[in-house]
């Protein structure tokens, strides 16, 4: 089945699932929307629905997050038709939260979630390239580790669960040590909702729609 796909298609499909990881780790809602076909249906844990609702769902689960890293391995792509494929990717995620996240246990300074999972996505090739048209999150192991101390500060460039991450400065051709940041960590329910709504409004504007 995989022999029906050109190497360039396989690379492009793998890039789709990698962009998904970047989007959720960096809370980049515009990038996250672009991963999906506009009519995509998603089954991710407690969420089942369309793209707009999924972006809001992910944003709501980033409150108080200070670290997020999704790692992929064992990516297998199977052609299932002309311009259509199924991609299975094994994943491992590490995420750290502190207040105001409701995930932080009482009396703890923070909490770390380590999980394994698989993404099983059906992708289609269209005018916007390869996009996910249906996505399924298959849950694996989960370890919840309450933290007695807050995450330790690090010297040098550090990861940010936002588009203030050093990556975006480098993409703009800037030195990440001198690029301006919004310094909004840890994120709150309000800032996550505002960013997700702004991304949705921008997409409607680009499509010639009137946003309410």
Q: Which of 202, 207, 208, 212 is nearest to 30 (CA)?
A: 202
Spell out the per-residue pLDDT of the chain, length 212, in tens: 445 799 999 999 999 999 999 999 999 999 999 999 999 999 999 999 999 999 999 999 999 999 999 999 999 999 999 999 999 999 999 999 999 999 999 999 999 999 999 999 999 999 999 999 999 999 999 999 999 998 888 889 999 999 999 999 999 999 999 887 664 444 554 555 555 555 555 555 444 443 33
- What fold is seen in the domain 2-157+188-206? Nuclear Transport Factor 2; Chain: A, (3.10.450)
Give the CA radius of gyration of the chain.
Answer: 18
> Is 26 within 8 Å of 96 (Cβ atoms)?
no
Could you tell me the residue ranges of all domains in the chain?
2-157+188-206
Beta bridge partners of 73: 90
Put simply, whether the predicted model's pTM sits higher than 0.75 gets the answer: yes
Q: What is the DSSP string of 45-70?
A: TTEEE-HHHHHHHHHHTTTTEEEEEE
d(CA 130, CA 123): 6
């Amino acid at each position: 089945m995989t022999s029906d796909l050109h190497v360039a298609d396989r690379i492009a499909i793998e890039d789709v699932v990698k962009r998904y990881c970047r989007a959720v780790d960096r809370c980049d809602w515009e990038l996250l929307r672009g991963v999906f076909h506009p009519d995509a249906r998603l089954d991710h844990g407690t969420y089942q629905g369309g793209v707009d609702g999924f972006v809001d769902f992910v944003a709501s689960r980033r409150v108080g997050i200070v670290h997020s890293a999704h790692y992929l391995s064992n990516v297998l792509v199977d052609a299932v038709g002309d311009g259509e494929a199924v991609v299975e990717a094994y994943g491992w995620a590490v995420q750290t939260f502190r207040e105001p996240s409701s995930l932080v246990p009482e009396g703890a300074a923070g909490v770390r979630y380590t999980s394994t999972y698989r993404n099983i996505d059906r992708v289609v090739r269209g005018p916007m390239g390869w996009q996910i048209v249906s996505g399924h999150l298959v849950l694996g192991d989960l370890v919840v580790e309450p933290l007695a101390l807050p995450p330790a500060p690090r010297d040098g460039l550090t990861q940010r669960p936002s588009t203030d991450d050093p990556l975006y400065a480098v993409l703009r051709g800037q030195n990440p040590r001198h690029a301006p940041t919004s310094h909004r960590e840890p994120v709150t329910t309000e800032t996550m909702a505002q960013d997700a709504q702004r991304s949705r409004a921008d997409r409607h504007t680009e499509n010639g729609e009137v946003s309410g």
